[in-house]
Amino acid sequence: MDNNTVFTIGRQFGSGGRQVGRNLAEELGIPFFDKELIAISAQDSGLSEALFTNADEKATSSIFYSLVMGNYPMASGALGVTEMPLNDQLFLIQSKTIKRLAEEGPCVIVGRCSDYILRDKENVLNVFIHANLERRIERAVKVYEVAENKAEDTCLKADKQRANFYNYYSDRKWGMCRTYDLSLDSSKLGIEGCAQQIIAFEKLWKEHKGKGI
């Protein structure tokens, strides 16, 4: 397939979104980035991987929102980037890495506000994978080896953390349908079914763009 599309995958914990993204990348023969972004961002910046791991998809209560809205002193050069809270510095570094990878060619990027970071690119297809709680609990136990009596709490807490991160660093709402181009229920379609639906959707999307309607 002639493909220059960058796919971003948002996902509920336990929905299998990461595996959907991996299957999609393998099917299309394009790079896949999830935790790999930590190592690449660390290499790009010269900082420790541990710093990015500790901050991964975690929001902080800081000045970042005011900063990007232009009403914080840094907007006029009064505050340097190195004076920003660490998590915000790391977010900016990882954003730069995500933009670079998207410029290099088609790929699949999981989470980390990648859809928002790449919002100005026309060749980006944003997908959200969700599933019913029962299936997510089952996957958390089988795949992530979470204790059965803690699996539900783990799913809900992970979702809350991802939502806080996304809502904090973007002007969008995590998990809301209008935030994404395509939303799929993996508990109904399965992992491979979701990957195939994304491929079919991208084909129709490109055909529609080509018609100029």
Amino acid 83: pLDDT: 63
Distance CA 184, CA 127 (A): 8
Domain boundaries defined on the chain: 6-211
Superfamily of domain 6-211: P-loop containing nucleotide triphosphate hydrolases (3.40.50.300)
Query: d(Cα 39, Cα 31) in Å, to the nearest integer?
Result: 15
What pLDDT digit, counting tens, does each position of 149-172 carry? 999 999 999 999 999 999 999 999
Model confidence pLDDT, tens digit, residues 13-44: 999 999 999 999 999 999 999 999 999 999 99
The predicted-structure confidence for 182-193, as pLDDT tens digits, reads as follows 999 999 999 999
How does pLDDT run across 113-150, given as a tens digit for each residue? 999 999 999 999 999 999 999 999 999 999 999 999 99
Alpha-carbon separation of residue 18 from 10, 82, 85, 149, 177 (angstroms) = 9, 32, 29, 23, 19
Structure tokens that stand for 65 in this block? 């929102």
Q: What is the pLDDT of residue 67?
A: 45
In this predicted model, what pLDDT tens digit does every residue of 55-102 receive, in sequence order?
888 876 544 444 444 433 333 334 455 567 888 899 999 999 999 999
Single pTM value for the model: 0.86
Cβ count within 10 A of residue 141:
17
Positive or negative CA dihedral for 86, 87, 92, 96? positive
